[in-house]
Chain A
Amino acid sequence: MRTILYLIRKEFLQIFRDRFIGKAIFGVPIVQMLLLVPAVTFEIKNVKLCIIDRDMTTESRELVSRLEGSTFFKVRFSTFSEPEGNDLLHRGKCDMILQIPSGFGKEQGLAQPGKIFVSINAINAVNAQLSLAYLTGVIRDYNLKVLTDNTDPGFLQLPPQIEVTNRYWYNELLNYKFYMLPGVLGILILAIGFVLAGLNLVKEKESGTIEQINVTPVKKYQFITAKMVPFLIIGLVDLSIGLIIGRLAFGIPFEGSIALLFLCSAIFMTALLGLALLISTFSGTQQQYMFSAFLFIIVFVLMSGVFTPADSMPVWAQKINLINPAAYIMRINRMVMLKGSTFHDLGRDIISLTMVAIVFTTLAVNRYRKTA
């Protein structure tokens, strides 16, 4: 035990002796939080519209003015030429073209369905679908108005309609930051665990210090523990910094138990550190390590569900996520922070994550050889 404590002390001494790393481990979480949380958002504002109104009637103008009134749309261009509209779309000047054919108003007067045509830039499929959804919303309101205007309330009853009123649970204001922040907290400690811890062991190999350690009676588990614990502590300190920033800068709610969040993050860190040390036993140089670690970081982060829901990924991808620690922590963080889930609710995820951590760490201890 005394040996482990001394080894850990030595790691801390070295980490903080490096002036850059010593500062960066606290600076990085602050920058990440302040940058990523507000920047990565799916909320769509200011969809640039091009209107081709060939009708020019009260009815068509009414529809256009409703679009102008919405916060999502900005009418940037108005033209009568379809090629010009298409050209604007090609050049990225507008995101959506709305064509109102002549006769739109007249057909309404004749109680026939009006027709409009929409072209949307779908390079970003999510954006395109959301824009269309917003547009449909505006048109639905417009339809309703046409219906009421053209019906004599005293004479004819409106057909019965289902009125939808909704409430958004767990994130009532649909604040995207609240959704992103728990995820960013996971990415934050992922970087610390993967980059710092792995490089640390490879550096000992590169500088030859490991050769001197290997001839000492230090045991494998002692050595690996001493390599993991300091980064585990740093990761949890960074998590605290992230939470404080989340609270102060973004007013994030915290429904669940802070202790549970820290417990899960500690298990998450253990899994990452185990894997990082496992990769580093295969790498001879820091370059080799970074290159392979980068692969894991990208795969883990993008598949974790931080940006796109992991549940809608293909089945094989969800299978891969069974060993992706980041996928677990994304779910756990969001559940605990936004929904207030308890240990009981998250039992399955926590047990699976613990198993992943045990497997990675055991492999690392076994792979590490105290020979040259």
Chain B
Amino acid sequence: MQKIIEASDINMSFGDVKALRNISFDVNESDIFGFIGPDGAGKTTLFRIIATLLIPDEGELKVLGLDSVSDYKELRKNIGYMPGRFSLYQDLSVEENLNFYATVFGTTVSENYDLIAEIYSHIEPFKKRLAGKLSGGMKQKLALSCALIHKPKLLILDEPTTGVDAVSRVEFWEMLRKLKEYNITIIVSTPYMDEAMRCNRVALIQNGSILSIDDPQKIKEGFSRKLFSVRAPEKFKLINVLRDYPGIVTAYPFGDSVHITFHTDKLDMTLYDHLKKSGIENAVITETDPGIEDRFLELMLNE
């Protein structure tokens, strides 16, 4: 299979801040490759380097077989970049934006219409509306249409679902999945752990370093301990009590419960008494399957 991106030992600093440290990874053709990590992890910097907007301090980056620094001109014809911030012209209409980006890439909307048809059809009824007046979900669809209009081989999506409602997020991932049919490789970053499962490969990134790269399922399975979930009415108090308990290794909030691990990897029944003594009644403890977030937190701890 052809490698779409080959990155080796990329380093990037802004003054004293080290934004990326020894980043290496490969992206295969037709991958949906996800970069998962908290804000400030270095995702945007990495994406801007891949999009040829930044030159890395060190390291080699080949995108579509071209050197990202010396062949940037050729590269720009073949990549579609959607920055994290909505960057289309707010004072141009939907239609004008799309035509504009088609033209600057030397193509026309009709030429590649079938590629964007499914996405664009959602916003086509509003094509005369100014882009600035669209809702968050519609803006995102327009931005995606504009990034796709020249039929790029690689699509770079920087946090496309941040600030978008839950329904639109699901729709959006569905659209990305369908783009696979057109042999478009996608790299996407997100701070949402649940979206990781929709990628076929995932890199966990933290403080400018990649913690792990794998199939999301495998990353989950990499979780080294047995995981238990504790539910109780007072979650905040619960976490503090759990963290003070000597038999517990980790305790992290997870939705409306707390995920914990034991040194012994077995449910320590004395915990019930401890909780009761600490004033937490009706706690329910069950074994649960680890999610990608659990693995991420574990990896962070090992750093």
Nearest Cβ on chain B to A211's Cβ, whole angstroms:
5
Q: A165 in the interface, Cβ–Cβ < 8 Å?
A: no
Q: B85 in the interface, Cβ–Cβ < 8 Å?
A: yes
Q: A213 in the interface, Cβ–Cβ < 8 Å?
A: yes
Q: What residues of chain B lie closer than 8 Å to A212, measured between beta carbons?
A: 81, 83, 87-88, 101, 146
Among B49-57, B117-125, B185-193, B208-216, the one that faces the other chain is: B49-57
**Bound state CA distance, A84 and B85, in angstroms?**
72
Nearest Cβ on chain A to B144's Cβ, whole angstroms:
12
Q: A218 in the interface, Cβ–Cβ < 8 Å?
A: yes
Which of A14, A215, A372 contacts B89, CB < 8 Å? A14
Which of A3, A14, A211 contacts B103, CB < 8 Å? A3
Nearest Cβ on chain B to A12's Cβ, whole angstroms:
12
Which of A2, A14, A208 contacts B87, CB < 8 Å? A208
Contact digits for A200-215, partner B, Cβ 8 Å, 1 yes 0 no: 0000000111011111
> Is A215's CB under 8 angstroms from B90's CB?
no
Size band of the B side of the interface? Answer: 20 to 34
> Is A215's CB under 8 angstroms from B53's CB?
yes
Contact A208/B85 with A3-B103, A213-B104 known, Cβ cut-off 8 Å: yes
Nearest Cβ on chain B to A201's Cβ, whole angstroms:
14
Q: A42 in the interface, Cβ–Cβ < 8 Å?
A: no
**Bound state CA distance, A230 and B83, in angstroms?**
28
Q: B106 in the interface, Cβ–Cβ < 8 Å?
A: yes
> Is B104's CB under 8 angstroms from A211's CB?
no
> Is A215's CB under 8 angstroms from B79's CB?
yes
Q: What residues of chain A lie closer than 8 Å to B73, measured between beta carbons?
A: 217
Q: What residues of chain B lie closer than 8 Å to A218, measured between beta carbons?
A: 104
Contact digits for B244-257, partner A, Cβ 8 Å, 1 yes 0 no: 00000000000000
Q: A17 in the interface, Cβ–Cβ < 8 Å?
A: yes
Q: What residues of chain B lie closer than 8 Å to A216, measured between beta carbons?
A: 76, 101, 104-105
> Is B91's CB under 8 angstroms from A372's CB?
no
**Bound state CA distance, A3 and B92, in angstroms?**
17
Contact A207/B54 with A6-B100, A6-B103 known, Cβ cut-off 8 Å: no
> Is B92's CB under 8 angstroms from A13's CB?
yes
Q: What residues of chain B lie closer than 8 Å to A17, measured between beta carbons?
A: 91-92
Which of B53, B86, B100, B146 contacts A371, CB < 8 Å? B53
> Is A217's CB under 8 angstroms from B87's CB?
no
Contact digits for A10-22, partner B, Cβ 8 Å, 1 yes 0 no: 1001100110000
Contact digits for A176-201, partner B, Cβ 8 Å, 1 yes 0 no: 00000000000000000000000000
A-B contact pairs, 26 of them (CB 8 A): A3-B103, A3-B104, A7-B104, A10-B89, A10-B92, A13-B92, A14-B89, A17-B91, A208-B87, A209-B89, A212-B81, A212-B83, A212-B146, A215-B53, A215-B79, A215-B81, A216-B76, A217-B76, A217-B104, A217-B105, A217-B106, A371-B52, A371-B53, A371-B54, A372-B48, A372-B54
Q: Which A residues fall within an 8 A CB radius of B?
A: 2-3, 6-7, 10, 13-14, 17-18, 207-209, 211-218, 371-372
List of 3 A-B pairs having minimum Cβ-Cβ separation, nearest first: A372-B53, A212-B87, A208-B87
Known: A208-B83, A212-B146, A372-B54. 12 other contacts (CB 8 A): A3-B103, A3-B104, A3-B106, A10-B89, A13-B92, A14-B92, A17-B92, A212-B87, A215-B81, A216-B105, A217-B106, A371-B53
Q: Which B residues fall within an 8 A CB radius of A?
A: 48, 51-55, 73, 76-77, 79, 81, 83, 85-92, 96, 100-101, 103-106, 146
